[in-house]
Amino acid sequence: MAKQISVFLENKAGRLAHVTRVLGEAGINIRALSIADTSDFGILRLIVSDPDKAYEILKESGFTVSETEVIAVQVPDSPGGLAAVLEQMSEENLNIEYLYAFLGTSENNALVIFKVEDIEKARQAFTKRGIKFLDEKRLYQL
Amino acid sequence: MIYWDQEKECMPLEQLRELQLRRLKETVYRVYAFVPAYQKKMDEAGVKPDDIKTLDDLKKLPFTTKQDLRDNYPFGLFAVPMSEVVRIHSSSGTTGKPTVVGYTRKDIDIWAELMARALISAGATRHSVIQNAYGYGLFTGGLGVHYGAEKIGASVIPSSGGNTKRQIMLMQDFGTTILTCTPSYALFMYEVMKEMGIDPADLKLKAGIFGAEPWSENMRREIENNLKIDAYDIYGLSEIIGPGVAIECSYKNGLHIAEDHFIAEIIDPETGEVLEDGRQGELVITAITKEALPIIRYRTRDLTALDRTPCACGRTHVRMQKVLGRSDDMVIIRGVNVFPSMVESVLLNIPGVEPYYLLVVDRRGNLDELEVHVEVSEKIFSDEIRKLEELEDLIRRELESALGIGVKVRLVEPKSIERSEGKAKRVIDRRKI
């Protein structure tokens, strides 16, 4: 399990720069990010070195922030690696809300961040099927 | 025919003032005797009907506001028994309870008379084919124009609002010569005509009488050039009687207020002090011939100025400038009155939504659009786009059903809407009126 920081952003110039500047000045490193957007707004999703601190700091800076539970899955860094994981998740009827790639690797595996509908069910399924996922302490330190 | 009732419309001023004073006195006696709310307000202000000896004494009387109508919802300000009331209209259902107005048979006759004057002033005759695209129903626009048009003997097409392609077909097939609707709808009709490949010059349309929302001289030029017609401004509000309170003549240099039925004042909206002619301020109207709902010093919240210089048309009635804006934060969008407070009450009914919002009114193409900005608080924020879009959609649907017009909702970051010490700025009107 891992904590993702989600930030609401209007589609306006300089907003993303502002968020990243605030985090940078607090000494927080961004480990992974993705942006989902509509024509009016976007949601910035971040895995950072210190999520609790990031949450506090962004909140103090006036952003709408939330913490979300996600899973960082180790995916073989080879052709078909992600497909194999997704196929198994499909077999287990795990609904994925969204996913994005992590910057960097772990034990020669790529890391993919999954937001699933039922995180406990996902954890059990991964354990059963031998799909590896990182605990949060290791993830933040990568 | 230039006038519908020359004797009244061109009445010598001295005679007009005498008539106004007599009617004002009668009205004040009547409301004091028959409407407890008026009696109470006058007693509180320490003024008795006998204190009204000259027209200048009008300013001793307390103002009536939209709130008074709401407080006495629905029929509390009526001065006649319901058996005398033949028609009930209601405002476009604004904040909470709508404001309700009633008419006796005589009131309806006077209203038709006023609309007849207005139509004639805009060049209508019994040979005119008048397409009335104001909404019929509780709104006073549709039936108000309708009765006046029938009174002058014109042929009326009660097309009501909407279904623009059919409107244009009727215009072509029935040979409409005069169009009555909101100015923004007239421009929208032009857009649709273009799409349909119809040249307005091929239509028989000669004039349009446009009202129910403020519009500028620029918009008049646009309508006149596009539709190849004369465009006249008409003013009215249901609390007073409906459309026909004031109308432009062919000189289009202000709207003549029917002074034999109404007394107009301009006040400073902050202090309530009466301003001299020519100064800009809020229009206050006293209806001096209404039976069912006589109304004393009604604060219209419309900003304008009065001009008493003689008009070349021969009418002696005072002219008001085209309405310049509002002294409250109401905005009129496609003929519908929208108060920020209505938006607020909708938002507060949606769990987690905080009352930080902004109304942005703009004109895209020729139609007014309302965009409501709502700040995203932590309570309603989600890391999933779908949930935020569902929320946007929910807010939009709730607003649309409460306001009765199409709305676009935009979620914005917290604190991005300006906070102010005193009165929050709730409306940005980008229309160039």
The answer to whether residues A91 and A51 belong to one domain is no
Same domain for A118 and A137?
A: yes
Give the C-alpha separation, B103 to B272, whole Å: 29
Contact of A101 with chain B, judged by CB distance below 8 Å, is answered with: no
Q: Do B385 and A4 touch (CB under 8 A)?
A: no
Looking at B1-104, list the stretches that DSSP marks H as alpha helix, in order from N- to C-terminal side.
Answer: 6-9, 13-34, 36-45, 66-71
Q: Say how many C-beta atoms besides its own lie within 10 A of residue B300's C-beta.
A: 21
Same domain, A25 and A59: yes
**CA–CA min distance A22, chain B (Å):** 16
Among A23, A51, A68, the domain boundary falls at A68
pLDDT on residue A138: 80
Contact A37 B378 (CB under 8 A): no
User: B388 vs A43: CB contact, 8 Å cut-off?
Assistant: yes
Residues A20, A64, single domain; the answer is yes
Task: Check whether B334 has a pLDDT greater than 60.
Answer: yes
Q: First and final CA of chain B: distance in angstroms?
A: 33
Q: Which of B95-104, B263-272, B322-331 has the highest mean pLDDT?
A: B263-272
Domain match, A118 and A136 both: yes
Compute the distance between CA of residue B168 and CA of residue B267 in angstroms, rounded to an integer.
Answer: 42
Instruction: Using DSSP bridges, classify how beta strands B408-412 and B367-375 pair: parallel, antiparallel or unpaired.
Output: parallel
Q: Are B176 and B200 in contact (CB under 8 A)?
A: no
Query: What is the pTM for the complete model shown?
Result: 0.73
Check whether residue A39 and residue A20 sit in a common domain: yes
Same domain, A64 and A83: no
Structure tokens at B46: 């320490």
Please give the pLDDT value at position B352. 84
Say which residues have a Cβ less than 8 Å from residue B396's Cβ, sequence separation at least 6: B407, B408, B409
Record: contact A64-B414, CB cut-off 8 A: yes
A64 touches chain B (CB under 8 A): yes
**pLDDT for the residue numbered B433:** 57
The reply to whether A75 and A134 lie within a common domain is yes
pLDDT digits (tens, 9 = 90+) for A91-116: 999 999 999 988 777 777 888 999 99
Query: Which residue of B382, B389, B416 is in closest CB contact with A10?
Result: B416
Using a CB-CB cut-off of 8 Å, the residues of chain A touching B410 are 40-41
Chain A contact for B385 (CB, 8 A cutoff): yes
Give the pLDDT confidence score for residue B302 in this predicted structure: 93
CA of A16 vs chain B CAs: smallest distance (Å): 13
Residue A61 lies in domain: 2-68
User: CB contact, 8 Å: B352 with chain A?
Assistant: no
Nearest CA in chain B to A98: B384
Verify whether the Cβ–Cβ distance A40 to B376 is below 8 Å.
no
User: Is a pLDDT exceeding 50 seen at residue A55?
Assistant: yes
| Chosen domain end from A34, A68, A102 | A68
pLDDT digits (tens, 9 = 90+) for A7-24: 999 988 899 999 999 999
CA–CA distance from B155 to each of B113, B151, B180, B189, B230 (Å)? 16, 10, 13, 21, 19
pLDDT of residue B420: 54
- One domain, residues A76 and A63: no
Count Cβ atoms within 10 A of the Cβ of residue B374 and give its class: 0-12 exposed, 13-18 middle, 19 or more buried: buried
User: What pLDDT band is residue A28 in, cutting at 50, 70 and 90?
Assistant: very high
Least confident of B28-42, B54-68, B261-275, B367-381: B367-381
pLDDT for residue B93 is more than 60: no
Same-domain pairing of A58 and A110? no
Q: What is the pLDDT of residue B21?
A: 98
Q: What is the mean pLDDT of residues B43-50?
A: 97
Question: Would the pLDDT of B312 be above 80?
Answer: yes
| ipTM associated with this complex | 0.84
Q: Which residue of B has its CA nearest to A59?
A: B378
Does B140 have pLDDT greater than 50?
yes
Q: Looking at the structure, tell me whether residues A86 and A75 fall in a common domain.
A: yes
* Lookup result for tokens 């008009």: B311
* Residues 6 or more apart in contact with residue B324 via CB below 8 angstroms: B214, B280, B303, B304
> CA of A115, closest CA in chain B: separation in Å?
10
Closest CA to B159 of B171, B150, B148, B147: B171
Interface contact flag, A38 B416, Cβ < 8 Å: no
Domain finish residue from A68, A98, A125: A68
Q: Which residues of B touch A43 (CB under 8 A)?
A: 382-385, 388
Domains of chain B by start residue, with CATH: 6-328 (3.40.50.12780), 336-429 (3.30.300.30)
Tell whether the model's pLDDT for residue A71 goes beyond 70.
yes
Confidence of residue B94 (pLDDT cuts 50, 70, 90): very low
Q: Is B383 on the interface with A (CB under 8 A)?
A: yes
As a whole number, mean pLDDT of residues B252-270 equals 97
What pLDDT score was predicted for residue B378?
Answer: 87
**Nearest by CB to B383, which of A10, A62, A68?**
A68
Condensed to tens digits (0 to 9), the pLDDT of residues B409-418 reads: 999 998 777 7
**pLDDT confidence tier of residue B365, bands split at 50, 70 and 90:** confident
Write out chain A residues lying below 8 Å of B376, CB-based.
Answer: 8, 41, 64
H-assigned helices in chain A = 15-25, 51-60, 81-91, 119-129, 136-141
To the nearest whole number, what is the mean pLDDT of chain B? Answer: 92
d(CA B386, CA B401): 22
A36 touching chain B per CB within 8 A = yes
Count A/B contacts: CB-CB distance under 8 Å: 56
Q: Nearest C-alpha of chain A: how many angstroms from B357?
A: 15
Q: Is B410 on the interface with A (CB under 8 A)?
A: yes
What residue of B is the nearest CA neighbor of A8? B413
| Contact (Cβ atoms closer than 8 angstroms) between residue A72 and residue A6 | no
Residue B422 pLDDT greater than 50, yes or no:
no
Same domain, A77 and A64: no
Let me know the angle formed at the C-alpha of B76 by B31 and B25, rounded to the nearest 5 degrees: 10
Report the CATH number that the domain containing residue A77 is assigned in CATH.
Answer: 3.30.2130.10
Alpha-carbon gap, residue B249 to B257, rounded angstroms: 11
**pLDDT of the residue at A80:** 93
Are B414 and A4 inside 8 Å of each other by CB? Answer: no
Beta-carbon separation of B413 and A65 below 8 A: no
Tell me which residue in A6, A15, A62 faces B414 most closely, judged by beta carbons.
A62
Total domains present in chain A: 2
What are the C-alpha distances in Å from B126 to residues B4, B130, B203, B402?
Answer: 11, 10, 19, 40
Residue B425 has pLDDT above 80, yes or no: no
Q: How confident is the model at residue B96 (pLDDT cuts 50, 70, 90)?
A: low
